[in-house]
Amino acid sequence: MQIERDGNGDFILDPREIAQRFGLTPADFRRHQDQGLVKSTVEIGEGEHAGTSRLSLRIGNRIWRAILDAEGGVVSEDLSFARGGLVRRDGTA
């Protein structure tokens, strides 16, 4: 996967490829986006990690992360599942 950047420096990802990473159809991924259920973060590498970026996308308890090189190539990627916190009997976390 190659990830591009627009004129503002924002990352541009192919929604079909991202949908596939989450096991969704492109239409389902778009629906999640439209409902505000896709959350993203970008971290820029510093020090020994200068020139790299880490992108994270979260849908529900699924988190896809990719480490990018300076040219936008994916160095590594993984999909993990966030664990929910314990809920007490009175309904508080």
Query: Residue ranges per domain, the chain?
Result: 4-81
| Secondary structure E strands in the chain | 4-5, 11-12, 38-44, 53-59, 62-68, 74-81
Strand partners, 81: 62
The pLDDT score that the predictor gives to residue 67 is 96
Residues lower than pLDDT 50 in the chain: none
The CA distance from 59 to 82, in Å, is: 10
Position 88 scores a pLDDT of: 62
The Cα–Cα gap between 13 and 4 comes to 7
In the prediction, which pLDDT does 89 show? 67
